Amino acid sequence: MRVNKKEALRYLGFSQLEPDSQTEAILNACLPALENAAAFKYTLREFPIAVSENSIMLNGDVIKSRALSIHLKTCTHCLLFCATLGSGVDTLIKAYSKTDMPACLVLHACAASLLESAVDNVQDELRQAYAKRGLCLCERFSPGYGDFSLSYQQTLLRILDAAKTIGLSCTEKSMLVPLKSITAIIGITNSEPTTNSRGCSSCTLNKTCLYKKPAIENLN
């Protein structure tokens, strides 16, 4: 796995600024260790869903979220998805936190970028596979977006049996373990999705956020 340096710098707040030489040096020094420590794993399952105005019914569970309902309003099925970079990344970050805090912060950003890129690649592959069936996928929608409470992390992990399949669990406060992990719902629809709630362009902080993606960019 390779870290996209430009994306990592965006997570560090350099989307519209050039990084200083110290940050560049730390970034270059940390990347090999992170790439060696990362062990990306994911699991997913498809489920039928029933969408109402403020909630969805999924596998016998009711998930209350108006934002999620709007996002999935044209969907009759969805994919439950979760992924992780593995415990090795947590161990690496913890080690740096005791000896080199600037490097620790850079590692956090690089790991977030690496996870996002890996999940994007999986979703692109899924999108192509579903397109062959005449279906479209919505952008993934994770607990913590809008009014989709983080407390549903446990529900998604339980349904997917993620602790057994990829070693992913969460704390009582709904923090994922390992830390650099993600859970999400991906809607399946017969037509092109009309919402893209995950993107920077739809965020209410879009005009002031230092971490947003530029409207047009080359991330290679």
CB environment 84-96: b (16+ within 10 A), e (fewer): bbbbbbbebbeeb
Q: In whole angstroms, what is the distance from residue 148 CA to residue 141 CA? A: 9
Question: Which DSSP category does 145 fall into?
Answer: S
Domains of the chain, first to last: 5-195 (3.40.109.40)
Q: Is 126 exposed, middle or buried (0-12, 13-18, 19+ CB in 10 A)?
A: middle
- The model's pTM: 0.84
| Predicted pLDDT of residue 28 | 87
Q: Is the pLDDT of residue 202 over 50?
A: no
Give yes or no for residue 50 having a pLDDT over 80. Answer: yes
Residue 137 confidence (pLDDT) = 96
Buried residues in 174-186 as b, exposed as e (16+ CB within 10 A): bebebbbbbbbbb
83 Rama sector, left if φ>0, alpha if ψ -120 to 50, beta otherwise = beta
Across residues 183-188, what is the average pLDDT?
A: 97
At 101-137, the pLDDT tens digits run 989 999 999 999 999 999 999 999 999 999 999 999 9
> What is residue 193's predicted lDDT score, i.e. its pLDDT?
67
Structure confidence at residue 195 as a pLDDT band (50, 70, 90): low
